[in-house]
Structure 1
Amino acid sequence: MSRTSPAARPAGSRRDETVVIVALSLATMVVSMMQTLVVPILGLMQDDLDATAAEVSWVTTATLLSAAVFTPLLGRFGDQHGKKPTLVGMLLVMVAGSLLAATAHSLAWLIVGRVLQGAATAIFPLALSVLRDEIRPARLPGAMALVSGTLAFGTGLAMVSVGLLTQGDDPDYRTAFWLATGLAVAALLAVVVLVPSGRHAPGGRTDVLGALTLAATLVLLLLPITQGNEWGWTSGRTLGSFAGAVVFAAVWVQVERKVREPLVDMRMFVHPPVLFANITGLLVGFGMFALFIGVSSLAQMPSDLLGYGFDASVLRASVQFLLPSTVVSLLSAPLGGQLVHRWGPRPVLVLAGVIGAAGFGWMALDHRHAASVIGAGLLVGAAVSLGYASLPAVVVGSVPLHQTGIANGINSIARSTGSAIGSAVVTTVLASKSAANLPAGAPELPAESRFTLSFLLAAAAFALAAVVAGAGLRRIGMASTVRAAAPAPAPVPADKPAAAGTAG
Structure 2
Amino acid sequence: MSHAHRAAPTRASGQTLLVLALGLAAMVVSMMQTLVVPVLGIIQDDLNATTANVSWVTTATLLSAAVFTPLLGRFGDQHGKKPTLVGVLLVMIAGSVLAATTSSLTWLIIGRIMQGAATAIFPLALSVLREEIKPAKLPGAMALVSGTLAFGSGLALVGAGLLTQGAAPDYHRVFWLAVVLAVVALAGVLFAVPASRAKTGGRTDWLGALSLAMLLVLLLLPISQGHEWGWTSGRTIGAFAGAIVMAGVWVAVERRVKEPMVDMRMFAHRPVLFTNLAGLLLGFAMFAQFIGVSYLVQMPESVAGYGFGASVLAAAVVYLLPTTLVSLVGAQVGGLLVRRIGARSTLAIGAAFGVLGFAWLTAAHGTSASVIGAGMIIGLAISFGYASMPALIVASVPAHQTGIANGINSISRSVGSAVASAMITTLLASKTIELPDGMPALPQESQFTLSFAIAGAAFALVVVVALIGLKAAHAPRASAVRKVAAAESAEPAEPAGSQPAAELV
Normalized against structure 1, the TM-score is what?
Answer: 0.94
User: Counterparts of 1:503 and 1:168 in 2: how far apart (Å)?
Assistant: 50
Q: Name the counterpart of 2:26.
A: 28
Q: Kindly provide the CA deviation profile for residues 116-161 of structure 1, in whole angstroms up to 9, marking residues without a partner as x.
A: 0001110000000000000001110000000001111111111111
Q: Kindly provide the CA deviation profile for residues 40-63 of structure 1, in whole angstroms up to 9, marking residues without a partner as x.
A: 000000000010000000000000
What is the correspondence of 1:148-297 to structure 2 with a 5 Å cutoff? 148-297=146-295
Deviates more, 1:38-47 or 1:198-207: 198-207
The answer (yes or no) to whether the contact 1:61–1:226 under 8 Å persists in 2 is yes
Q: Name the counterpart of 2:420.
A: 422
For the pair 1:443 / 2:451, whether they are aligned, the reply is no
User: Counterparts of 1:466 and 1:97 in 2: how far apart (Å)?
Assistant: 39
**Amino acid in structure 2 at the alignment position of 1:72:** P
Q: Kindly provide the CA deviation profile for residues 450-483 of structure 1, in whole angstroms up to 9, marking residues without a partner as x.
A: 0000000100011111111111112142579766
User: Counterparts of 2:87 and 2:289 in 1: how far apart (Å)?
Assistant: 33
Q: Kindly provide the CA deviation profile for residues 341-388 of structure 1, in whole angstroms up to 9, marking residues without a partner as x.
A: 101100111011111111111111111111101100001111111101
The offset of 1:200, in angstroms, is 4.0
The offset of 1:441, in angstroms, is 2.8
The answer (yes or no) to whether the contact 1:271–1:491 under 8 Å persists in 2 is no
The answer (yes or no) to whether the contact 1:393–1:481 under 8 Å persists in 2 is no
Q: Name the counterpart of 2:3.
A: none
Deviates more, 1:481-490 or 1:117-126: 481-490
Q: SS state of the match for residue 201, structure 2?
A: coil
The answer (yes or no) to whether the contact 1:101–1:110 under 8 Å persists in 2 is yes
The offset of 1:407, in angstroms, is 0.2
The offset of 1:412, in angstroms, is 0.4
Q: Kindly provide the CA deviation profile for residues 146-180 of structure 1, in whole angstroms up to 9, marking residues without a partner as x.
A: 00011111111111111111111110011110000
Q: Kindly provide the CA deviation profile for residues 185-242 of structure 1, in whole angstroms up to 9, marking residues without a partner as x.
A: 0000000011111204221100010000000000000000000000000111001100
The offset of 1:500, in angstroms, is 12
User: Counterparts of 1:487 and 1:434 in 2: how far apart (Å)?
Assistant: 58
Q: Name the counterpart of 2:462.
A: 465
The answer (yes or no) to whether the contact 1:342–1:478 under 8 Å persists in 2 is no
The answer (yes or no) to whether the contact 2:198–2:495 under 8 Å persists in 1 is no
Q: Name the counterpart of 2:390.
A: 392
Once superposed, which parts of structure 1, at least 4 consecutive aligned residues long, lie more than 3 Å away? 9-12, 478-492, 499-504
The answer (yes or no) to whether the contact 1:268–1:491 under 8 Å persists in 2 is no
Structure 1 residue corresponding to 2:450, chosen from 419, 429, 453: 453
- Aligned positions, number: 489
Q: SS state of the match for residue 263, structure 1?
A: coil
User: Counterparts of 1:20 and 1:435 in 2: how far apart (Å)?
Assistant: 52
Structure 1 residue corresponding to 2:327, chosen from 326, 329, 346: 329
**Amino acid in structure 1 at the alignment position of 2:447:** R
Structure 1 residue corresponding to 2:101, chosen from 81, 100, 103: 103
Distance 1:168 1:97, change over 3 A: same
The offset of 1:100, in angstroms, is 0.5
Instruction: State the identity %.
Output: 65
Distance 1:111 1:12, change over 3 A: same
Distance 1:387 1:399, change over 3 A: same
Normalized against structure 2, the TM-score is what?
Answer: 0.94
**Amino acid in structure 1 at the alignment position of 2:196:** G
Q: SS state of the match for residue 94, structure 2?
A: helix
Distance 1:481 1:262, change over 3 A: farther
What is the correspondence of 1:338-377 to structure 2 with a 5 Å cutoff? 338-377=336-375
The offset of 1:490, in angstroms, is 6.8
**Amino acid in structure 2 at the alignment position of 1:185:** V
User: Counterparts of 1:112 and 1:54 in 2: how far apart (Å)?
Assistant: 16
User: Counterparts of 1:243 and 1:193 in 2: how far apart (Å)?
Assistant: 47
The answer (yes or no) to whether the contact 2:343–2:504 under 8 Å persists in 1 is no
User: Counterparts of 2:64 and 2:33 in 1: how far apart (Å)?
Assistant: 11
User: Counterparts of 1:478 and 1:25 in 2: how far apart (Å)?
Assistant: 28
**Amino acid in structure 2 at the alignment position of 1:69:** V
For the pair 1:410 / 2:408, whether they are aligned, the reply is yes
Distance 1:142 1:179, change over 3 A: same
User: Counterparts of 2:184 and 2:474 in 1: how far apart (Å)?
Assistant: 37
Gaps (5+ residues) in structure 2? 1-6
User: Counterparts of 2:34 and 2:401 in 1: how far apart (Å)?
Assistant: 29
User: Counterparts of 1:159 and 1:218 in 2: how far apart (Å)?
Assistant: 27
User: Counterparts of 2:43 and 2:357 in 1: how far apart (Å)?
Assistant: 33
The offset of 1:442, in angstroms, is 2.0
User: Counterparts of 1:412 and 1:29 in 2: how far apart (Å)?
Assistant: 14
User: Counterparts of 1:34 and 1:502 in 2: how far apart (Å)?
Assistant: 32
The offset of 1:15, in angstroms, is 2.3
RMSD value, Cα: 1.9
Q: Name the counterpart of 1:3.
A: none
**Amino acid in structure 2 at the alignment position of 1:472:** G
User: Counterparts of 2:501 and 2:142 in 1: how far apart (Å)?
Assistant: 24
User: Counterparts of 2:501 and 2:10 in 1: how far apart (Å)?
Assistant: 36
The offset of 1:88, in angstroms, is 0.5
Distance 1:81 1:59, change over 3 A: same
Q: SS state of the match for residue 138, structure 1?
A: helix
User: Counterparts of 1:111 and 1:501 in 2: how far apart (Å)?
Assistant: 43
User: Counterparts of 2:249 and 2:286 in 1: how far apart (Å)?
Assistant: 32
Q: Name the counterpart of 1:62.
A: 60
The offset of 1:435, in angstroms, is 1.5
The answer (yes or no) to whether the contact 1:399–1:489 under 8 Å persists in 2 is no
User: Counterparts of 1:490 and 1:11 in 2: how far apart (Å)?
Assistant: 31
Deviates more, 1:191-200 or 1:288-297: 191-200
Deviates more, 1:247-256 or 1:439-448: 439-448
User: Counterparts of 2:433 and 2:118 in 1: how far apart (Å)?
Assistant: 41
